[in-house]
Amino acid sequence: MSQPKQLLIIDDDPDFVAGVKSILLKAKYEVDVAYNPKDGLQALQTKTYDLLLLDIMMGRGAEGIMIARKLGKDPKLRDLPVLIITGIREQMAFLFPGQAVHPHFVPVDELVEKPVEPKLLLEKIQALLKTAEARKTQSK
């Protein structure tokens, strides 16, 4: 068994995070949490993660989007796969659950809606990790 994958969650809702984190821990991922964008960005700079779970609506607005944009511009971090978790259904009112939605902030990302079922969550994470892995070997 290879090294457990390191995941980072950036989300300002501790209750929601608890529900996600427990699912991820059960699936043998190692999970760090940042409860605000500032701590999140700092964590990304200090430690290497395999995947980021990012909440969009934080604080006064869509601060999550700012993080995603920053990642996209950062040559070191832009290859980090990101699973965007959003509660704003209006913006995806026409998108349907289960369907892959690519926000394209970074090369490998996808979007799921809060709340997210354990099975779907784990599938998406696995798929993103796999895609990122494939990209890495391809570029080598």
The stretches of the chain forming alpha helices (DSSP H) are 14-26, 37-46, 63-73, 118-139
Q: Which residues 73-92 are close enough to bind another protein by CB under 8 A?
A: 87-90
Closer to another protein by CB, 12 or 32: give it. 12
**In whole angstroms, how close is the CB of 69 to another protein at the nearest point?**
20
Only segment of 13-21, 33-41, 71-79, 101-109 that touches another protein (CB under 8 A): 13-21
> Which residues sit opposite 9 in a β-bridge?
33, 53
- Residue 55 to residue 95: CA distance in whole angstroms: 18
- Residue 96 to residue 118: CA distance in whole angstroms: 18
Short-list 119, 115, 118, 125, CA closest to 15: 115
Among 35, 118, 127, 135, binds another protein (CB under 8 A): 118
Kindly determine how many residues on this chain lie close enough to bind another protein according to the rule CB under 8 A: 24
Closer to another protein by CB, 13 or 30: give it. 13
- Residue 39 to residue 28: CA distance in whole angstroms: 24
Q: 95-117 as b/e, with b when 16 or more CB fall inside 10 Å?
A: eeeeeebebebbebbbbbbbebe
Only segment of 32-40, 42-50, 64-72, 116-124 that touches another protein (CB under 8 A): 116-124
- Residue 133 to residue 5: CA distance in whole angstroms: 12
Q: Counting contacts by CB under 8 A, is residue 102 touching another protein?
A: no
Q: Counting contacts by CB under 8 A, is residue 18 touching another protein?
A: yes
Q: Counting contacts by CB under 8 A, is residue 117 touching another protein?
A: yes
* Binding residues for another protein (CB under 8 A): 13, 15-16, 18-20, 22-23, 26, 57, 87-90, 93-96, 99, 114-118
